[in-house]
Structure 1
Amino acid sequence: MTLKKTILFLHRWIGLLSGLVVFIVSITGAIYVFEKELFALFHPSYVTVTAHKGEKTLPLSILKANAQRVTDHPITLIRVPARDDQRQIYLFEALKRRPKNDIVGVFINKEIRYWDRIFVDPYSGKVLGKIDVETNFFWIVRQIHQFLYLRRDVGSTIVGTSVLLFIITLLSGIFLWWPKNRKVAVKRLKINFSAKWKRLNYDLHQVLGFYAFFVAIVIAATGLVWSFKWWETSIYWLLDGKRPNKKHEEPKAPENTIDAASEASLDLIWSDVVKSYGAHEGALVNIPQNASVANVTVYKKGNTWWSASDTYTYDLRSEKCSFQRLQNDKTLGMKWRDSNYDIHVGKIAGRTGMWIAFVTSLICASLPVTGFYIWYGRKFKKKKKQRS
Structure 2
Amino acid sequence: MKFKSTVLFLHRWIGLISGLVVFMVSITGAIFVFERELFAVFHPGYCTVDVRPGAAPLSLSTLIKNAQAATDHPITIIRIPGTHDKTQSYVFESLKRQPKNKVTGLFANEEIIYWDRIFVDPYRGKVLGKIDVETSFFWIVRQIHQFLYIRRDLGSVIVGSSVLLFIITLISGLIIWWPKNRKVAIKRLKIDFRSKWKRLNYDLHQVLGFYIFAIALLIASTGLVWSFKWWEASIYWILDGKHPDKGIATPPASNPSDKQSSPAPLNLMWADVQTIYREHQGVHINLLTELAQANVTIYYPGSTWWSASDTYAYNMHNGTPYFKRLQQDKTLGMKWRNSNYDIHVGKIAGLPGMCIAFIGSLICASLPLTGCYIWYGRKFRKKTKSKERPSRTKRKSKQLQF
TM-score, normalised to structure 1, is 0.96
Q: For residues 21-40 of structure 1, what are the structure 2 equivalents within 5 Å?
A: 21-40=21-40
Q: Post-superposition shift, 1:151?
A: 1.4
Instruction: State whether residues 50 and 87 of structure 2, in contact with CA within 8 Å, keep that contact through their aligned partners in structure 1.
Output: yes
| Alignment correspondent of 1:148 | 148
Distance 1:63 1:142 in 2: 29
8 Å contact from structure 2 (residues 259, 318) kept in 1: no
Give the C-alpha shift of residue 249 in structure 1. 2.8
Aligned-partner Cα distance in 2 for 1:300–1:254: 31
Query: What is the CA distance between 1:98 and its match in structure 2?
Result: 4.4
Deviation at 1:102, TM superposition (A): 4.7
Matching residue of 2:308: 308
Q: CA deviation at 1:246?
A: 1.1
* 8 A Cα contact 2:250 2:291, kept in partner: no
Q: Is the 8 A contact 1:91 1:119 kept in 2?
A: yes
Residue type at the aligned position of 1:371:
G
2:346 is the counterpart of 1:346: yes
Q: Note if 1:298 corresponds to 2:315.
A: no
Q: How far apart are the structure 1 equivalents of 2:177 and 2:359?
A: 21
Q: Could you report, residue by residue, the CA deviation over 1:182-230 in whole angstroms, capped at 9, with x for unpaired residues?
A: 1111100000111111100000000000011000000000000001011
Bigger drift between 312-321 and 279-288 goes to: 312-321
Aligned AA for 2:382?
Answer: K
Please tell me whether the aligned partners of residues 257 and 317 of structure 1 are also in contact (alpha carbons under 8 angstroms).
no
In 2, the alpha carbon distance for the partners of 1:152 and 1:124 equals 40
Q: Which residue in the other structure is 1:109 paired with?
A: 109
Distance in 2 (alpha carbons) for counterparts of 1:263 and 1:111: 35
* 2:52 aligned residue: 52
Is the 8 Å Cα contact of residues 253 and 317 (structure 1) preserved in structure 2?
A: no
Aligned to 1:278: 278
Unaligned runs of 5+ in 2: 390-402
Amino acid in structure 2 at the alignment position of 1:183? K
Q: Report the Cα distance in structure 2 between the residues aligned to 1:244 and 1:259, rounded to whole angstroms.
A: 34
Alpha-carbon separation, structure 1, partners of 2:257 and 2:101: 35
What pairs up with 1:235-246 in 2 under 5 angstroms? 235-246=235-246
Contact 1:311 1:326 in 2 (8 A): yes
CA distance in 2 between counterparts of 1:254 and 1:162 reads 50
Q: Is the 8 A contact 2:97 2:111 kept in 1?
A: no
Structure 1 pair 108/27, CA: closer, same or farther in 2 (3 Å)?
Answer: closer
- Looking at structure 2, the residues matched to 92 and 372 of structure 1 have their Cα atoms a distance apart, in angstroms, of 45
1:258 is paired with a residue of what secondary structure? helix
Structure 1 residue matching 2:232: 3-state secondary structure: helix
Aligned to 1:67: 67
Cα distance, 1:111 vs structure 2:
1.8
| 1:83 and 2:83 aligned | yes
The letter for the 2-side match of 1:18 is: S
Q: Computing the radius of gyration over CA atoms, which structure comes out larger, 1 or 2?
A: 2
CA distance in 1, matches of 2:348, 2:97: 33
2:201 counterpart residue number: 201
- How much does 1:316 deviate? 1.8
Shift in Å at residue 85 of structure 1?
A: 2.0
- C-alpha separation in 1, matches of 2:139 and 2:247: 29
Counterpart Cα distance in 2 of 1:97 and 1:148: 18
Counterparts in 2 of 1:217-296, with a 5 A limit? 217-259=217-259, 264-296=264-296
Q: Which amino acid aligns with 1:90?
A: Y
Cα distance in 2, alignment partners of residues 267 and 286 from structure 1: 15
Alpha-carbon deviation of 1:308?
Answer: 0.5
Distance between the aligned counterparts of 2:94 and 2:365, measured in 1?
35
- Kindly provide the amino acid, as one letter, of the partner of residue 61 in structure 1: S
> Structure 1 vs Structure 2: percent identity of aligned residues?
67
Determine helix, strand or coil for the equivalent of 1:4.
helix
Task: Specify the alignment match of 1:330 in structure 2.
Answer: 330
CA contact (8 A) 2:24 2:145 kept: yes
SS at match of 1:190: coil
> What amino acid sits opposite 1:311 in the alignment?
T
Report the CA distance between 1:97 and its aligned residue. Answer: 5.1
Cα distance in 1, alignment partners of residues 199 and 181 from structure 2? 21
Amino acid of the structure 1 residue aligned with 2:207: V
Instruction: Provide the residue aligned with 1:321 in structure 2.
Output: 321
Aligned AA for 1:66? N
Which of 199-208 and 315-324 deviates more? 315-324
CA distance, structure 2, for counterparts of residue 101 and residue 245 of structure 1: 24
Residue 383 of structure 1: how far off its partner (Å): 1.3
What is the correspondence of 1:150-169 to structure 2 with a 5 Å cutoff? 150-169=150-169
Higher helix share: 2
Distance 2:83 2:73 in 1: 28
Write the letter of the residue equivalent to 1:239.
Answer: L
Indicate how the Cα distance of structure 1 residues 263 and 134 shifts in structure 2: closer, same or farther if over 3 A, else same: farther
* Aligned amino acid, residue 242 of structure 1: K
Mapped to 2, the partners of 1:121 and 1:190 lie a distance apart of 52
- Deviation at residue 386 of structure 1 after TM alignment: 3.7
Please tell me whether the aligned partners of residues 109 and 134 of structure 2 are also in contact (alpha carbons under 8 angstroms). no
Q: 1:112 to 1:11 in 2, by over 3 A?
A: farther
Name the SS for the 2:324 alignment partner: strand
Closer/same/farther in 2, CA of residues 171 and 75 from structure 1, 3 Å limit: same
Give the equivalent residue in structure 2 for 1:95: 95
> What per-residue deviation string (whole Å, max 9, x for no partner) do you get for residues 302-324 of structure 1?
11111111100111234221110
1:257–1:318 CA contact under 8 A, matched in 2: no
| Amino acid across the alignment from 1:276 | I
Distance 1:342 1:99, change over 3 A: closer
1:381 shift after superposition: 3.0
Question: In 2, distance between residues paired with 1:114 and 1:144?
Answer: 19
**Which residue number corresponds to residue 400 of structure 2?**
none
SS of aligned partner of 1:70: coil
Instruction: Please say which of residues 47-56 and 262-271 is displaced more in the overlay.
Output: 262-271
Provide the C-alpha distance between the structure 1 equivalents of 2:119 and 2:58, rounded to a whole number of angstroms. 14
Residues 152, 100 of structure 1: alpha-carbon distance in 2 compared, 3 angstrom cutoff: closer
Question: 2:121: which partner in 1?
Answer: 121
CA contact (8 A) 1:101 1:111 kept: no
- Secondary structure of 1:287's counterpart equals strand
CA distance in 2, matches of 1:221, 1:34: 20
Counterpart in the other structure of 1:130: 130
Given the two structures, how large is their TM-score scaled by the length of structure 2?
0.93
